[in-house]
Structure 1
Amino acid sequence: MSITPLDALPLADLRKRSSTKWAKYPSDVLPLFVAETDFPLAPAITECLTQAVQRGDTGYTPPTTRLPEAFAGFADRRFGWTVDPARVRTTCDVMMGIAELLRAVTEPGDRVIVTPPVYPPFFAVNEESRTEVEVVPLQQDDAGWSLDLAGIEAAFAGGAKAMLLCNPHNPTGTVHARETLAELGRIAHRHGGWIISDEIHAPLTMPGVTFTPFLDAGPEAAEVGFAVTSASKAFNLAGLKCAFVVTAAAEPARIVAAIPDEVEWRTSLFGIFANVAAFEEGDAWLDSLLARLDLNRRLLRDLLAEHVPGARYLPGDAGYLGWVDVSALGWGDNPAARILREAKVAVNPGPTFGEPGRGHIRINYGTSPEILTEAVQRIGALVR
């Protein structure tokens, strides 16, 4: 059965939004930076939030909700992953969850492995937890990006206490192979290390690609791992502030249970409503979104080839973020600055993703083909 790709909202309607994506820059700028998408909400989410407002259900989040069971059902359907709802604990957002986990498994001054190019808050969260970043860059070849397992093992052997895993990886869109994740779990287990896996992009795995949850990759992964995730990236719910930590073994579950209750109190009730609706009733909408993103990642590849010769882009297997190397164009370490100034397109600066990001940009293609086309044409005009 064919799936109809989801249509983005018209530009005029998007300009009425007050979120960061649409409020940060003047109206002559096309915003393709922060990870917000331009699609209407899933109908089930709109309905549940509307009903909550109508009944004045705007209080504190209760200690027991349907979210653990809702996610367990979603994980089983989408990933073939059996999640114990008793081992799901909510918090405000993914990075808050990661910060609290780092505090729980490290001491100030401990080293934490980060694999650039990677989501910029992975660097900043170490300032919050008073830990030190140990960089082990991704490896790249013609087939794409992969974890440097030998480098990660050396870092753990040298005393690193934890690793922040991006699974799937932001910004490259890499979906790590099951055996890679299983070996990562074995490495951490051998050296007494911990893996904190950000899996917020997992629902955005492209059709025909298999996502492996880190905790499901092997017995050692379950023993050393924490998964932190949310419906917010796939269903565009960042402002509703709800994420959760999942564990699959006794010791990680004990560590999560010991995190202060205040971390859980920070979960938004509206975020709970929306996450439950997404996980229980959002599959058809999500499939339509993925159909659109699959088309858009290919469109971005074709547009860059036509309008920005010299740009290098390998479409990722998850997400809606394109990692583009424009270093051959001679626009300096941070080409996003020139693109914003002269083309009036806002993209993410590559250097914020770590040293390997010099000469790169990240383009958000979670939008309409029309907006994406105009943005790349504007960038291409700088080449001409």
Structure 2
Amino acid sequence: MSIASSGPADLLRSSRSSLKWTRYPEGVLPLFVAEMDYPVSERIREAIIERVRTSDLGYIDSAGPLADAFSRFAQRRWGWTVDPAWVRVATDVSVGIVESLRFGVASGSPVVVCSPVYPPFFELVEEAGLPLVDVPMLERVEGWQLDLARIEEAFIAGARAVLLCNPHNPLGVPHDREALVDLAMLAARHDVLVIADEVHAPLTHHGAVFTPFATVAAEVGARSVTVTSASKGWNMAGMKCALMVPSDARTLAMLDRFPQEVASRTSILGLHANVAAYGDEEWLDATISRIMRNDALLAHLLHRKLPVVHYRRPTATYLGWLDFRDLGFGMDPAERVLQDARVALNSGPAFGAAGRGHARINFACDPTVLEEAVERMASAFA
């Protein structure tokens, strides 16, 4: 099948060098990796340029101005009171997670993840040398939910950490407060460390509610560390700077045992870009509105052109979880979509056993690209 290329995608391919635009050949629409196609905010660009102008390109050893910037953002956005003195930095979210596992979990103790979930979770648990227990999410009529009964069974059996994805990637669901309170109470009862990846939290859709896990952990005496960054919300994953925020003094002491390299390998440009980002909610709010329009467009296009693919609309992120099981494409429909429609999606099985028959789509792109992607799939699978 001859497939014409997409104008906006062609322009970005000619000017960008990230893996989103280099992994697949020309003619493939890249709707996989979690990078937005939108321009970075002017405040971030100016912050980076200013650091270069002053030749301020050395090492860092602390969060510095980022601690105050994040604290102010968290208070304004979510009513979360963060003590800037407790904020630590890491090279990126993955480094913050794996070091928390290494220093916060006893050797041989299992770690709970809830699939389908961000694929590096599986790799990070392995990197930390710990066994993994997958407790799949429950798909209910009212939405996706944590399987708290099975999570408690894992705690009773010896699991001593849980990797919480909040909002949940790839499902685009911010966990509701009641579920988080229940999880925190279980963690407190069994002395389990909760490592909350909240990197997509700034991308909670307008009208939806995001609850930081640390706010409920502190209420019930659970141990937790939140690992986050402006990298996803403001589209600068390559800037390499993340934050770690403990909910309790015991976890703060754990963070302070990390090697100095965890902080000093963090990018100074990334740190100042994060500071600028957390002060630019106008750009963030406009971007969320664009994402929400594309979410509505994707739902409409699938309903009209490819209704056999089921799509439960997210309330956070720019990532859609597509259910291809009724098409009978087997475990990994992304392979067929790439081969026959020349659209690159994320492979569902990479998100765990619960991802079989599914694929993840990134819809933070020009609407015409999204229209072409669905048209290609509809034509290929008619």
Structure 2, unpaired ranges of 5+: 1-6
**Secondary structure, counterpart of 1:82 in structure 2:** coil
Instruction: State which drifts further: 87-96 or 219-228.
Output: 219-228
Tell me how far 1:224 sits from its aligned partner: 1.1
What residue is the counterpart of 2:125 in the other structure? 126
What residue is the counterpart of 2:285 in the other structure? 287
Distance 1:125 1:181 in 2: 23
What residue is the counterpart of 1:144 in the other structure? 143
Distance 1:254 1:67 in 2: 20
**Secondary structure, counterpart of 1:72 in structure 2:** helix
> Normalized against structure 1, the TM-score is what?
0.95
Distance 1:176 1:64 in 2: 28
Residue from 323, 326, 335 that aligns with 1:325 = 323
Matched, 1:335 2:330: no
Tell me how far 1:176 sits from its aligned partner: 0.6
**Secondary structure, counterpart of 1:322 in structure 2:** strand
Distance 1:11 1:377 in 2: 15
Q: Give runs of aligned pairs for residues 16-95 of structure 1, distance below 5 A.
A: 16-63=15-62, 65-95=64-94
Tell me how far 1:13 sits from its aligned partner: 3.2
Tell me how far 1:61 sits from its aligned partner: 2.0
Give the number of aligned pairs.
375
Distance 2:204 2:333 in 1: 28
Distance 1:222 1:312 in 2: 40
Distance 1:221 1:297 in 2: 36
What residue is the counterpart of 1:309 in the other structure? 307
What residue is the counterpart of 2:167 in the other structure? 168
**Secondary structure, counterpart of 1:373 in structure 2:** helix
Instruction: State which drifts further: 161-170 or 58-67.
Output: 58-67
Tell me how far 1:225 sits from its aligned partner: 0.8
Tell me how far 1:223 sits from its aligned partner: 3.3
Distance 1:218 1:121 in 2: 24
Distance 1:128 1:108 in 2: 12
Q: Give runs of aligned pairs for residues 1-384 of structure 1, distance below 5 A.
A: 10-15=8-13, 16-63=15-62, 65-219=64-218, 223-280=222-279, 282-384=280-382
Deviations 1:330-358 (A, max 9, x none): 11110101111111100000000011111
Counterpart of 2:355 in structure 1: which amino acid? G
Whether the 8 Å contact between 1:70 and 1:276 is mirrored in structure 2 is: yes
Deviations 1:151-183 (A, max 9, x none): 111110111010000000000011111111011
Whether the 8 Å contact between 2:200 and 2:232 is mirrored in structure 1 is: yes
Distance 1:64 1:292 in 2: 31
Counterpart of 1:318 in structure 2: which amino acid? A
Summarize the Cα distance change of 1:106–1:237 in structure 2 as closer, same or farther, 3 Å threshold.
same
Distance 1:158 1:325 in 2: 32
Whether the 8 Å contact between 2:63 and 2:87 is mirrored in structure 1 is: no
**Secondary structure, counterpart of 2:162 in structure 1:** strand
Distance 2:82 2:58 in 1: 28
Instruction: State which drifts further: 300-309 or 351-360.
Output: 300-309
> Normalized against structure 2, the TM-score is what?
0.96
Tell me how far 1:220 sits from its aligned partner: 5.1
Distance 1:223 1:192 in 2: 7
**Secondary structure, counterpart of 1:341 in structure 2:** helix
Whether the 8 Å contact between 2:63 and 2:89 is mirrored in structure 1 is: no
**Secondary structure, counterpart of 2:183 in structure 1:** helix
Summarize the Cα distance change of 1:185–1:57 in structure 2 as closer, same or farther, 3 Å threshold.
same
- Aligned-residue RMSD, C-alpha: 1.3
Distance 2:100 2:194 in 1: 10
Tell me how far 1:62 sits from its aligned partner: 4.5
Distance 1:222 1:368 in 2: 45
